[in-house]
């Protein structure tokens, strides 16, 4: 006997629930060895598909150093996008912000600085003073801002991350992982493209002091437009690099190297490996209608299912990369149906290997029908389960 529509729907709903993971898509092997990376951990992903192209200890907890400022920037960008802050807002510089050690923007105590200038100081100059000033402006205190950072990290599914400060200064328990950094970087790029542009700026002058962006790849590779460097004695030299070539964006993360040049070379090698051996294809745009599902006990006999999000797949450039797809939906479902309800999935494969399953959802709400519809539906169910 077939499973009831309720049980089928419940199973499909449970299957479809997932966090904002970066390894949601499996990939077929490119049959080319990835570059050797000498660091504590590393990760190479495709931004659109989330496919992991190369990895080494990606879930190991490491000190993020100034890569911490990615989360600070993410929160500031969200504040801007949601209208709680404005780029022209004037931000007061406290003594705590002014006294910050390490890399600095050199803002003056008790002065007021335009929020956009502080964003540039935080991103381009990696200013600890600018970061704390922004944190205090957004949340009142740096401590409150750090609480917000941890809350957002949990929302994004960053399972190995715990923040203790906003700037990345060494502190016990201040930890993240390459996987979590990839989740955060991907969210920042995709959700706030209007502000991601700051990561490609090569230098910024404040208080008559010109400082260059520490990301060497910005000067070396025109396809690279970010993202962030980090360094402390205990964390080593770290770098997140992102590049866009012919519409394909990759994100490479290397942590714990022994020099500025080493981190740049290794990220460059990862990016080159990914672009030369893989290609990402958009299979379906968001809202693509896939097929219809019968609906019983409703005035409408069917409901269409769609891919609610854009589906992009990463496959090897060489060899047989022909995609096949399998649609799995129930033979019928009983009204009512909610718009956006998960009704099935679509699975893609290449070279006999699954590239992952993606949910299919109802495009419309289908309410319960009248008495006649209910009677007809009952008969149809009896026949279907006979």
Identify the DSSP state of 68: G
Which residue do the tokens 């002065």 mark? 111
Specify whether 354 is catalytic.
no
Distance CA 263, CA 38 (A): 9
Rounded Cα distance between 164 and 153, Å, is: 12
Label residues 207-227 b or e (16+ Cβ within 10 Å = b): eeeebebbbbbbeebeebbbb
Phi, psi of 123 (to 5 degrees): -85, -50
Q: Could you say which of 40, 49, 69, 166 is catalytic?
A: 69
- Cis peptide, bond prior to residue 336, ω within 30 of zero: yes
Which whole-number Å values give the CA distances from 246 to 96, 243, 309, in the listed order? 45, 10, 22
Find residue 294's DSSP bridge partners: 302, 332
Active-site hit among 49, 66, 103, 242? 66
Owner of token pair 């060895």? 33
Please state, in angstroms and rounded to a whole number, the distance separating the CA atoms of residues 65 and 113.
25
Calculate Rg over the CA atoms of the chain.
Answer: 25
Give yes or no for a contact between 42 and 55, defined as CB atoms under 8 angstroms apart.
Answer: yes
Are the CB atoms for 135 and 115 separated by under 8 Å? Answer: no
Ranges assigned E (strand) in the chain:
41-46, 52-56, 90-92, 112-114, 203-206, 209-212, 224-232, 236-245, 248-257, 278-284, 288-296, 302-307, 311-316, 323-328, 332-334, 342-350, 353-362
- In angstroms, the CA 141 to CA 50 distance is 35
Neighbours of 75 (CB within 10 A): 21
Q: Is 17 helix (H, G, I), strand (E, B) or coil?
A: coil
DSSP at 25: S
69 is catalytic: yes
User: Considering 41, 49, 103, 126, which one is annotated as catalytic?
Assistant: 126
How many beta carbons lie within 10 A of that of residue 187, not counting itself? 21
Any idea which residues carry the catalytic annotation?
66, 69, 126
């Amino acid at each position: 006997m077939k499973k009831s529509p309720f049980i089928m729907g419940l199973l499909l709903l449970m299957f479809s629930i997932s966090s904002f993971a970066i390894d949601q898509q499996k990939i077929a092997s490119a049959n080319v060895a990835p570059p050797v990376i000498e660091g504590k951990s590393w990760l190479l992903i495709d931004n659109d598909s989330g496919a992991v192209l190369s990895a080494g200890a990606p879930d190991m907890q490491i000190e993020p150093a100034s890569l911490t400022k990615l989360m600070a920037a993410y929160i500031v960008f969200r504040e801007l996008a949601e209208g709680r802050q404005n780029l022209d807002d004037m931000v007061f510089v406290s003594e705590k912000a002014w006294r910050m050690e390490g890399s600095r923007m050199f803002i003056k105590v008790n002065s007021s600085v335009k929020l956009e200038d502080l964003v540039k100081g935080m991103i381009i100059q990696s200013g600890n003073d600018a970061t704390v000033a922004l944190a205090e402006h957004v949340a009142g205190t740096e401590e409150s801002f750090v609480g917000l950072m941890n809350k957002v990290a949990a929302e994004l599914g960053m399972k190995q991350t715990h923040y203790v400060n906003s700037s990345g200064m060494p502190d016990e328990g201040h930890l993240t992982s390459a996987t979590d950094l990839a989740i955060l970087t991907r969210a920042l790029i995709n959700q706030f493209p209007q502000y991601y542009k700051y990561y490609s700026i090569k230098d910024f002058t404040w208080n008559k002091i010109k400082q260059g962006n520490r990301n060497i790849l910005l000067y070396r590779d025109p396809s690279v437009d970010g993202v962030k460097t980090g360094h402390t004695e205990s964390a080593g030299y770290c770098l997140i690099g992102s590049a866009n070539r012919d519409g394909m964006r990759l994100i490479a993360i290397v942590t714990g190297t022994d020099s500025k040049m080493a981190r740049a070379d290794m990220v460059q090698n990862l990016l080159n490996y990914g672009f030369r051996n893989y290609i990402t294809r958009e299979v379906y745009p968001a809202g693509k209608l896939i097929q219809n599902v019968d609906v019983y006990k409703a005035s409408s006999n069917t409901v269409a299912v769609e891919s609610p999000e854009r589906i992009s797949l990463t496959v090897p450039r060489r060899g047989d990369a022909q995609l096949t797809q399998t649609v799995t939906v129930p033979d019928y479902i009983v009204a009512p149906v909610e718009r956006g309800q998960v009704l099935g999935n679509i699975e893609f494969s290449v070279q006999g290997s699954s590239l992952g399953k993606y949910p299919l959802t109802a495009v419309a709400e289908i309410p319960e029908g009248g008495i006649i519809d209910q009677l007809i539906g009952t008969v149809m169910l009896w026949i279907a389960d006979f």
